[in-house]
Amino acid sequence: MALKVPTMQEYAAEGKMPDILFWIGCFGSFDDRAKKITKAFVKILNRVGVDFAVLGSEEGCTGDPAKRSGNEFLFQMQAKMNIEVLNGYGIKKIVTACPHCFNTIKNEYPGLGGNYDIVHHTQFLTSLLEEGKLKVEGGKFKGKRITYHDPCYLGRANDEYEASRALLSKLEVELIEMEDTKKHSLCCGAGGAQMFKEPEGGDREVSEMRIEQAQKTKADIIVTGCPFCDTMLADGMTKQKTGDPMDIQDVVEMIAEAEDL
């Protein structure tokens, strides 16, 4: 089934407003691996009939990497450009699959004139479940041993730990928590713009340490809800010399795959 991805320009031309704006983010737009997460979420939105739109070429980087690396001037320039576009369309509700975008728009855009109701895609999917619009009953992952990695900008930064776990429970998986989890979860190593620089001196990379913790659970799949985490965990898996290889997936990919959307 072809994906239907309308733009805000198309909605505005017809004098309409979608129920939500899907903020894709740089990773979800340009990274080949993260594009699969974007497509999985769109498949679900199409399947359940959610009225949404994207900004397309009008969407710019939120400015998260610039701010975390100390370039406040660049951050404010990028943020204000996005806010001008969002306010120009009168956007009220935003959903994103990236915790970095989620955190920046939620907590830092209001100070620059951008006030929106923004939710992470796991929170949005959970609300669809509660409203009866999305039905998930077991599926191909039923009984699989799963461990979940909490993204920093979703967990510690915004106190969201349960939405992903609620979705996984609907898949009837066997969830095995790692040694460090929820507010004590290890970072994947990408936060603070570390994704875009060479690692600093040390004995081991954080991503390798996290993979080691995941392997101790003897799970089949590591699940996360962040494209940055997905990339870093995959990198850690490649560098890890011991232990069995594990599949790495985003929660939304599992929901879409289980239902064969």
pLDDT in tens, the chain (261 residues): 689 999 999 999 999 999 999 999 999 999 999 999 999 999 999 999 999 999 999 999 999 999 999 999 999 999 999 999 999 999 999 999 999 999 999 999 999 999 999 999 999 999 999 999 998 877 788 899 999 999 999 999 999 999 999 999 999 999 999 999 999 999 988 777 676 767 777 777 888 889 999 999 999 999 999 999 999 999 888 887 677 789 999 999 999 987 654
**Is residue 246 assigned to a domain?**
yes
**Is residue 245 assigned to a domain?**
yes
**Is residue 1 assigned to a domain?**
no
Same domain, 117 and 164: no
Same domain, 73 and 146: no
**Is residue 205 assigned to a domain?**
yes
Same domain, 148 and 218: yes
Taking alpha carbons only, the member of 62, 106, 104, 108 closest to residue 85 is 62
Same domain, 183 and 226: yes
Rounded-to-integer distance, Cα 261 and Cα 1, Å: 9
List beta partners, residue 117: 93
Q: pTM (2 decimals)?
A: 0.93
Same domain, 110 and 159: no
What total of structural domains would you count in the chain? 2
The residue range of the domain holding 251 is 135-258
CB contact set of 2 (below 8 Å; sequence gap of 6+) = none
**Is residue 3 assigned to a domain?**
no
**Is residue 198 assigned to a domain?**
yes
- E strands, the chain, are 20-23, 52-53, 93-96, 117-120, 145-148, 174-175, 221-224, 247-250
Same domain, 107 and 143: no
